[in-house]
Structure 1
Amino acid sequence: MTFMIELLIRTCIETVYLTGMIVLVGLFLGVLRNNSIRNFQRRFGSKALMITGLIGVPIHELSHAIVALLFGHKITKIKLLQKPDENGVMGYVQHSYNQGSVYQQIGNFFTGIAPIFGGVFSILALMRYIIPQAYNKFINILVKSLHVTVLSKSTIEGIINSYSGLVKVIFSLKNFENPYFYIFLFISICISSHISLSSADIKGAFRGLSIIFLILFMVNILNLSKYILNLDLIRYNILITGVLMIAVILSTITFLISLIFIRIS
């Protein structure tokens, strides 16, 4: 009995190591998104949702669809953009999968969280061509994170300082003199306003997460977890956190801008 409890605890910890940061950031982005949208609607009315959704919602839904297809799912119905229905839904992807396939069941988790990474990569693509100096700095931060061997106080402070520097590079005076920067800012706000996960996304992701948990549990029963190096998990989490930080930074900026509009009104 004690052995099974230890296995369950270890599996829970490993599941958190692998997916916890993604889930945590996803929930935080949801809070930022809900507050930002509410502020924009208070200032500009219901049309604010459609303005940001014109770009943000199709990217959100296409992210679902692309990842679903990568995991062998069949897209049965897709709506890239519509007027918000009674539940506030502006788009959706309906897909089916083989419940007998472990690979396709795991795909539910990645399909559910896909809009976070789809939004991040879309913003990075814009950054690459509009403010390449910020993009290069971000890539340098990620490369440095791959060399981390110990997660200490100084390491965490270094990471925080790196992203603080990234914000300064993005919002440098030179960028405000670049007319294309305002295009980047507008599109990034649209994407950030719809980058978080809906309740349906979370529900779908949870189905895949439960399968990931069961696989890790079996790995621990077979005593294969020793091949998962703690060092690699540290680097993995720092790398994932680094990628997600772009979404956090721009979603936070979107929220702050929404507060400014409320103050102006």
Structure 2
Amino acid sequence: MNFLTEILWKTLIETFYLTGMIILIGLILGVLRNNSIKNFQRSFGSNAVMITGFIGVPIHELSHAIFAVLFGHKITKIKLLQKPDESGVMGYVQHGYNQNSIYQQIGNFFIGIAPIFGGVFSIITLMKFMLPRVYNSFIDILIRSLHVTVLNKSTIEGIINSYSGLIKVIFSLKNFQNPYFYIFLFLSICISSHISLSSADTKGAFRGLCVIFVILLILNALNLTKYILAIDLIKYNILITGFLMISVILSTITFLLSLILISIK
């Protein structure tokens, strides 16, 4: 009984180490997105979501589609953009898969969370071409995070200071004099407004997460995870968090902007 409890607990911790930060940041993005959309609608009416949706929703849905193809799923129907239906759905990707394929079942998790990575990749790409100075600062932070070997108070403070510095670089006086900055900001707001996961995305990701948990449980029972998980989980989580942090920063900016618009209104 103690062996089973130990295996279950170890598997739970490993699953959290591998997916926990992605799920946590996804939840934060969801809260920011939902409140931002509500504020925009209060300021500009119920159709305000289309202002950001015409860019953000296609990127959201294409992210699902790309990961579905990567994991061998068959896309049966796709709608990149539509007016919100009664459930608020503005786009969708319907796909099927072989339930006997472990690879395709694991794919459900990555297909479900795909908009987070697709949105972040799109924003970073825009940054590279429109704000190269900000892009270089961001990449420098990611590279420095690879040298972290222990997570303590000093390390956490260093990470916080790095991203505080990145915000200052984004909103530097030089950028306010750059017309590309305003284009970048608008496009990033459109993307970040639709980067979070819908309830359908969450359900699909949860199915994949359960499969990942079962696989790790079996590997732990066979004492094989020491070979499979032979990576530095601290560096992995810091790198993942750093990569996704740009979406949190821009989603927070979007939320603050929505509050300012309500005040002006």
Shorter-chain-normalised TM-score: which range? Answer: over 0.9
Give 1:126's aligned residue: 126
* 1:229 to partner: Cα distance: 6.0
* 1:48 to partner: Cα distance: 1.2
C-alpha separation in 2, matches of 1:231 and 1:176: 42
Give 1:47's aligned residue: 47
C-alpha separation in 2, matches of 1:96 and 1:193: 28
Per-residue CA deviation, residues 192-220 of structure 1 (Å, 9 max, x unaligned), is 10000000000000010000001100110
**Residue 240 in structure 1 maps to residue 244 in structure 2:** no
Give 2:37's aligned residue: 37
C-alpha separation in 2, matches of 1:24 and 1:205: 13
Give 2:57's aligned residue: 57
C-alpha separation in 2, matches of 1:140 and 1:57: 30
Per-residue CA deviation, residues 74-126 of structure 1 (Å, 9 max, x unaligned), is 00000000000000000000000010000000000000000000000000000
The percent identity for this pair of structures is: 78
C-alpha separation in 1, matches of 2:68 and 2:59: 14
RMSD: 1.0
Give 1:14's aligned residue: 14
Native 8 Å contact 1:97 1:104 kept in 2: yes
C-alpha separation in 2, matches of 1:247 and 1:230: 29
Give 1:174's aligned residue: 174
* 1:224 to partner: Cα distance: 1.4
Alignment coverage as a number of residue pairs: 265
* TM-score after normalising by structure 2: 0.98
* 1:47 to partner: Cα distance: 2.3
Give 1:207's aligned residue: 207
SS in 2 for 1:49: helix
Q: Return 5+ residue gaps in structure 1 as ranges.
A: none
**Residue 84 in structure 1 maps to residue 75 in structure 2:** no
Change over 3 Å in CA distance of 1:19–1:42 after alignment to 2: same
C-alpha separation in 2, matches of 1:233 and 1:102: 24
C-alpha separation in 1, matches of 2:38 and 2:175: 29
Report the residue type matching 1:217 in the other structure: L
Report the residue type matching 2:16 in the other structure: V
Per-residue CA deviation, residues 203-242 of structure 1 (Å, 9 max, x unaligned), is 0000100000011001101111223568610000000000
* 1:46 to partner: Cα distance: 1.7
Give 1:137's aligned residue: 137
